[in-house]
Structure 1
Amino acid sequence: MKLKHKILKSDLKIPINYCQHLGLEAQDTFIVSYPKSGSTWFRFVLYELLTDNHATFEKVNYTIPTIGKHFGKDLETNYGRFIKSHEPFRKDYGKAVVMVRDVRDVIISEFNYNKKMGFIKKDFPFNDFINQFVEKSVNRFGNYAENLNSWITAKENNKADILFIKYEDMKADPYLQFSKVNTFLDLNRNLEFIKQKIENNTVAKMQKKEQLSNDRTLKSADASIPFVRKGTSRQWVNVYSTEQLDLIENNFEDILLYFKYK
């Protein structure tokens, strides 16, 4: 995983990325987010809305795979094919649900995820991580602002059919937000059905699913650091110093204002 992480952050990403996007179809629907923005929880509920089956890491990752892992699989559901992506907007993405999360919480989750996967050492300074996140990127999907701005521009210019869903709104009123998704994707599921699928995938239940999972990526990571954490919003309030918060807010002010975080 560490070698793959390094390769995909290098210039080799360009040809690899091209190959990963082969075989897409105009009717595909994409589940998009910048990493650590709540797409795992979203996909678990969506999987159950699509299939009416119990969601596990294995089933969700197979039926709603990451871009590049969609080859040679019978992924067609009764509502079409769904593919996960963390990439900036591309013309291949004609219809997408885009998950958004407060960047101040994203940084904290990314920091813990990078430690879990061994991409950084456990004693890596948090302040150095913040600087790297702000100045360039801590993953292969580009800077947070550049990535998300590509989706904002695409929506405003009507380049694709895009629904933005804020993670914080999902936490506050999941029934309302998944009802919006239900309408956007023409699933025609009733409210009681939607409520049941949400209740099947609470944080506690997803943590249990993680413990029972045989997913190869999870098994290869540091088990002492959970993948499914508390799932809370505004965890950043008691984490950052004034200087760190100023740095983050000054660099991502436009995004924070656009999604009414500030």
Structure 2
Amino acid sequence: MAELNQQFAASTTAACRSHVAELNVRADDVIISTYPKCGTTWMQQIVHGLRSHGDMTFGEISEVIPFMEVAYDCGIDLNGPQGYSPRAFKTHMSADELPEGARYIVVLRDPMDACVSFFNFMNGWYMEPGAVSLDTFTKEYFLALSGGDRYWTHLCSWWKRRHEPNVRIFCFEDIKQDPAACVRIVAQFIDIELDDQLEQLVLEQSSIEFMLRHKHQFDDNLLRRARDAAIGLPPDGESSKVKSGKVGASKPLLSEHMAARFDEIWREEVTPLTGAKCYRDLRSLR
């Protein structure tokens, strides 16, 4: 697991981080800030579909909505022109780490579901398939992260700002339950005029079925080409981000001990700030 930590940390370089700090933020910019595996790619596709009226000519989604932390190493200038307006960016950074002055779309997800999805994402790319158990990954990686890399730090940083007019918070489970409502809210938030035809197009192109059919456009191949060799990863790793996205799928997979640890951390760090005893309660408080 120490090697995994080193490799994942090396995915982004000091030059990349400096480039993020040099972003000239515009008031109409859209920054999608999510913790990993909480619906980032899904929201990228919704935002891009709305602003481009369904243009799918990109090779990989991060070519058109840049991943801020790795854009520089992928040959993308964050201050460069984008093909459509408003400009949009993706990040996993917390609110405290991001430049001010943009519009921010945040997607939250049940932390245990996010952890299991993160494990599946890394398994076969950063980790040899089957080499690390889910409980080991959870204990020695997901729960061992520090600072802004922690799920709970990211969530709390945005919860404090949930009432700001330039911040819109969604829950993964609510998008899953009513994607049309999400599309309408996002369109209004980023000032895109939405008619029935565009709404149906975006719903179709952001559906799990459509994104699975076009999974190579959502598999981080841009990042893999730029960084895998440099951090010692094999060139044939798999990293598809489009999965079933089942709600509550983590419950039977995590051990009772690990699940209890998630509950404990929530009560220690999230409940004092939000009043929510668990993630399900948090969804009803927004």
TM-score (norm. length: structure 1): 0.82
Distance in 2 (alpha carbons) for counterparts of 1:33 and 1:169: 15
Residues 225-234 or 171-180, more deviating: 225-234
Q: Which runs of 5+ in 1 are unaligned?
A: none
Determine whether 1:173 maps to 2:178.
yes
Residues 249-258 or 100-109, more deviating: 249-258
Q: 1:120 to 1:145 in 2, by over 3 A?
A: farther
Percent identity, aligned pairs only, is: 17
Letter in 1 for 2:253: V
Q: Which of structure 1's runs of 4+ aligned residues deviate more than 6 A?
A: 12-15
Q: CA deviation at 1:231?
A: 1.8
Distance in 2 (alpha carbons) for counterparts of 1:213 and 1:234: 23
TM alignment of 1:97-246, pairs within 5 A: 97-119=105-127, 122-133=130-141, 135-137=143-145, 142-155=149-162, 158=164, 161-211=166-216, 215-217=221-223, 220-223=235-238, 226-246=240-260
Q: Which runs of 5+ in 2 are unaligned?
A: 226-234, 271-277
Letter in 2 for 1:175: A
Letter in 2 for 1:235: A
Give the aligned length: 254
C-alpha distance after superposition, 1:195-235 (max 9, x if no partner):
22111232122112125779344674534x74311121111
Distance in 2 (alpha carbons) for counterparts of 1:260 and 1:129: 30
TM-score (norm. length: structure 2): 0.76
Matched-pair contact (CA < 8 Å) for 2:61–2:217: no
Letter in 2 for 1:122: G
